[in-house]
Structure 1
Amino acid sequence: MAKRKTSFVLCCNLFSVLLLLLLLAEVIQFPERVEAAGSPVKFLPGFKGPLPFELETGYIGVGDSDDVQLFYYFIKSESNPKSDPLILWLTGGPGCSALSGLIYEIGPITFEPVEYGAFTPAEYNGSFPSLVLNPHTWTKVASFIFLDLPVGTGFSYARTSAARQSDDLQASDHAYQFLHKWLNDRPEFLRNPFYVGGDSYSGIGVPIISKLIANGNEKGLEPFINLKGYLLGNPATFHGEYNYRIPYAHGMGLISDELFESLKRNCKGEYFDIHPSNTQCLNDRQTYDQMLDGINSVHILEPKCEMDSSRPQKWLGQRRSLDDMLYRGRLRCRFDWKKLSYQWAGDDKVREALHVRRGSIGKWKRCAVDALPFQKIVQNSIPYHANLSVKGYRSLIYSGDHDKWIPYISTEAWIRSLNYSIADDWRPWIVDGQVAGYTRTYSNKMTFATVKGGGHTAPEYKPVECLAMLKRWISYQPM
């Protein structure tokens, strides 16, 4: 009888221990080790030799009990980090990794493109992606914090199930908490001019974060953040901007005059409504979709291809520039080049070099747009722009003019809706003796610029012009 009782007690105790371990696993996710925030990175797999710039990576906990662990990449300005601006940079999505913006848009390194052979999804030749310097990096003139936001993006993770849930306002508040903690640990940057920047869906978050900073400064919250303004590329701003895709397509010669007039007549502003209110509109919409079926939405001149598959490409042959290979047809499309990020960021040696906590995330995704439990609750960020304008903050809004996804004419429309007078009227801006785009400046310190030939987003397609644009604006020079 005593043996049975002892066995029963042991079983109960064992069950209790197992239950406790399961609960702990839910809370802490069992990362193998915890790196201190702000670990320097001297070498990266795929790059030959030590990095010729200062890179630091790490995590900062935000939210309840620091249950949200935000991962960041900090790169010091290559000019004068003691006085150059400090910029918090967010990539779009929501859910696109900061690494994507760093490597493919404005950071100091990028993948070296190589020619492809036959497309073989199940095979790869075993070579590791090579990293090369980007001569047109924006870190030439400013220090950047590339932040994986919201939680679940890139290498940022949650320590509880509840903390995985996020929305526009909560994510923006997390960014604000992050900044306070980051700057408290690095008071040497408190006097640097500070800007918030981003592209695509960051058109929602960047103005919200900027307003949180401005409000905190007004309340006397410490540390005081030396906010000067914000900058946005091809920004999502309001729900109705999708209606501008049709007039944009017409203006670029992608649909006929007759179809455009019929769409205006029959749809009456509901061009992209999921359920058009009449048969004529539905028929016009179907014709429009057929006309645009073969067009790449993010850059209408480039081949249309699968936007974000991690299936590898088999690479061989002579190394060339990305634009040269696309032009010669030696690279299937730009997104084949972007698939290299999956192999690189998924490698254990890369994660170790970046100080990524083991066990914190599974498979890395360049853009986890459909995988995040994220709610888009802010449908219009225009009021935030208006509020920041009243407070006197400067802003740069730029658009690649070959982006159909968020057309430059929709951005022009909401800027006009602010009803500010024009300080410097529409004119070309020049780089290397050529027209790089067109610009206009308003009395509210807002500058709008198109980038000729740019897509979604502009620096990826026009790096020389966009670096010149940033240099001029950041130093208060005319565009």
Structure 2
Amino acid sequence: MRSSLFYYLILPLVLLQICSNLATAGSTVRFLPGFEGPLPFELETGYIGVEESEDVQLFYYFVKSESIPETDPLVLWLSGGNCCTSFSGLAYQIGPIKFEEVLYNGTLPKLLLNPYSWTKLVSIIFVDLPVASGFSYARTAKASQSTVSQACNQAYEFLRKWLVDHPEFISSPVYIGGDSKAGIRVPIVTQLISDGNEVGIEPHIYLKGYILGNPVTTPGDGNYAIQFTHGMGLISDELYESLKLSCKGEYQNIDPSNALCLQNMQAYNQASNHFSASFVLLYFEKLVTIQLLSNINKAHILEPDCPYASPKPNNLFIGRRSTIQVFCEKTRELKIQELAAPFTCRMDGYRLVYHWANDESVQKALHVRKESIGEWIRCNCRYPYIRNIGNSLPYHANLSIRGYRSLIYSGDHDMIVPHFGTQAWIKSLNYSIIDDWRQWILQGQVAGYTRTYANKMTFATGGGHIAPEYKPAECQAMFERWISHQPL
């Protein structure tokens, strides 16, 4: 595995010059439209060119630690989703700013300070990756196409070049972090850095470990949604037992000849009207059943379900339009009334960023290049992005052997990446438990549950999908304790 990684991922990077003339340092941002007064933290934005001739230009937001930046850790943060901008991490999850919680009223949305920002503890680079996301852009048609492995290569090259431009951080302890679908990329990037250090690629990166929230990890993650819905009381015991017997644990790629499993899945979709539709698509020559929720919020089952915040659908399938794409487009054609009133659901907050990021004054303040300015969309796969790696479990195993620290946190009300699946792949690593399942407490209240393993991996629960959006205080406390080597 290590040999394969070196030749296909590391070797091409060695052939590139570490410091190209086109790579430039970023620009300081002291004021942001929508925020009153000068920023009380240090923000830098910029572009770093990667790949051949630096035809891929990656945009980043860098926030310096508000504590002791000279010695505090440095985190490279990769957002999840399908080609989602890292601004999601900056303004909705772990960064120092957030939008004022009012619905859009025709004026530029206001920004406030986030009291639970992780930048109070560490410096964070939020990078727009892959190339289609955020303000990153490609100079050629060839450069606009990428794969998961290419994006991981680009992240590693980006970090090396960024450190060359910022030599004061070369000795900083480095962690790679991300959430959701970044669960595939983060372990790969971490291993690329480790492999590069072993073969002497400069600059040497002081890699300490990685952080993942609600991470997509294996192709079987979705199978645990059935166990999750039963555990949360959304389906009956009888239906659950029948599903287990008939489907034998495989609920995603169902054998068309398994009539009883298909019948049970139909009952599951209709149970209590939790699911509005079931589509059977011919995908990679397999029948795939996709459930679309009608009145259950899969990101947090205790919160209200809301319409999509993005005005345009993601390119879920390259080539011909899929059934699910057409469905999503029709759903988004519904006009969502926006009044000057408190949020009715969490998705209302995501609508604000479109009005903010597409404003000319905002793009000027962020030093956005004209080449990358089109319509800004929070999650936008406008270029082909091939998911050629769909399982990151082998990378977790390799990183465990090498002794890197890891924090895996999982929202226990998340149905998108159920915690049952995350716990299952962690258990498959076969490491002994050194701190068994217990509560972890914040301000006298139970914040979640945790367990620590002999491979320096800590697992913790609490919140929904993208846990810091739902439990910001708890997640900041969790991260602070872990990053400072304290027990949760």
Match of 1:361 in 2: 373
Match of 1:426 in 2: 437
Q: Give, in angstroms, the shift of residue 36 of structure 1.
A: 4.9
Report if aligned partners of 1:183, 1:189 keep a CA contact under 8 Å in 2: yes
Can you list the C-alpha shifts for 1:202-239, whole angstroms capped at 9, x where unaligned? 10000000000001111111101000000000000000
Report if aligned partners of 2:23, 2:49 keep a CA contact under 8 Å in 1: no
CA distance in 2, matches of 1:295, 1:274: 23
CA distance in 1, matches of 2:366, 2:74: 21
Q: Select which of 71, 74, 98 maps to 2:86.
A: 98
Report the residue type matching 2:466 in the other structure.
Answer: T
Report if aligned partners of 1:184, 1:223 keep a CA contact under 8 Å in 2: yes
Kindly tell me: are residues 61 and 417 of structure 1, through their superposed partners in 2, closer, same or farther at Cα, counting changes over 3 Å?
same
Match of 2:310 in 1: 309
Report if aligned partners of 1:313, 1:336 keep a CA contact under 8 Å in 2: no
Q: Give, in angstroms, the shift of residue 262 of structure 1.
A: 1.1
TM-score of the superposed pair, with normalisation by structure 1: 0.86
CA distance in 1, matches of 2:363, 2:234: 44
Q: Select which of 338, 360, 364 maps to 1:348.
A: 360
Match of 1:10 in 2: none
Match of 1:462 in 2: 471
Report if aligned partners of 1:94, 1:150 keep a CA contact under 8 Å in 2: no
Q: Equivalent residues in 2 for 1:144-183 (5 A)?
A: 144-183=124-163
TM-score of the superposed pair, with normalisation by structure 2: 0.84
Report the residue type matching 2:340 in the other structure.
Answer: L
Match of 2:315 in 1: none
Q: Select which of 180, 195, 199 maps to 1:200.
A: 180
- Secondary structure of 1:341's counterpart equals helix
Can you list the C-alpha shifts for 1:445-465, whole angstroms capped at 9, x where unaligned? 0001111xx111100000000
Report the residue type matching 1:385 in the other structure.
Answer: H
Root-mean-square deviation over aligned CA pairs:
1.5
Q: Give, in angstroms, the shift of residue 308 of structure 1.
A: 2.7
Report if aligned partners of 2:23, 2:161 keep a CA contact under 8 Å in 1: no
Q: Which has the larger radius of gyration?
A: 1
Report the residue type matching 1:150 in the other structure.
Answer: P
Q: Select which of 423, 426, 445 maps to 2:456.
A: 445
CA distance in 2, matches of 1:373, 1:447: 35
CA distance in 1, matches of 2:55, 2:151: 13
CA distance in 2, matches of 1:406, 1:176: 26
Report the residue type matching 1:62 in the other structure.
Answer: V
Can you list the C-alpha shifts for 1:139-172, whole angstroms capped at 9, x where unaligned? 0000000010111111111000111111111100
Q: Equivalent residues in 2 for 1:377-396 (5 A)?
A: 377-396=388-407
Report the residue type matching 1:459 in the other structure.
Answer: P
CA distance in 2, matches of 1:396, 1:290: 37
Report the residue type matching 2:434 in the other structure.
Answer: A
Percent of residue pairs identical: 62
Answer yes or no: is 1:375 the counterpart of 2:355: no
CA distance in 1, matches of 2:348, 2:337: 7
CA distance in 2, matches of 1:63, 1:269: 42
Kindly tell me: are residues 372 and 269 of structure 1, through their superposed partners in 2, closer, same or farther at Cα, counting changes over 3 Å?
farther
Count matched residues.
423
CA distance in 1, matches of 2:257, 2:383: 32
Answer yes or no: is 1:412 the counterpart of 2:413: no
Q: Equivalent residues in 2 for 1:87-236 (5 A)?
A: 87-114=75-102, 125-236=105-216
Q: Select which of 63, 66, 76 maps to 1:75.
A: 63
In the alignment, structure 2 segments of 5+ residues that lack a partner are: 1-21, 276-294, 312-334
In the alignment, structure 1 segments of 5+ residues that lack a partner are: 1-33, 117-123, 318-329
- Range moving further from structure 2, 66-75 or 296-305: 296-305
Q: Equivalent residues in 2 for 1:40-59 (5 A)?
A: 40-59=28-47
Q: Give, in angstroms, the shift of residue 187 of structure 1.
A: 1.1
Match of 1:37 in 2: 25
CA distance in 1, matches of 2:260, 2:109: 51
Report if aligned partners of 1:35, 1:357 keep a CA contact under 8 Å in 2: no
Q: Give, in angstroms, the shift of residue 305 of structure 1.
A: 1.6
Kindly tell me: are residues 243 and 381 of structure 1, through their superposed partners in 2, closer, same or farther at Cα, counting changes over 3 Å?
same
- Secondary structure of 2:234's counterpart equals coil
- Secondary structure of 2:440's counterpart equals strand
Kindly tell me: are residues 477 and 260 of structure 1, through their superposed partners in 2, closer, same or farther at Cα, counting changes over 3 Å?
same
Match of 1:25 in 2: none
Q: Select which of 48, 57, 65 maps to 1:60.
A: 48
Q: Give, in angstroms, the shift of residue 274 of structure 1.
A: 5.8
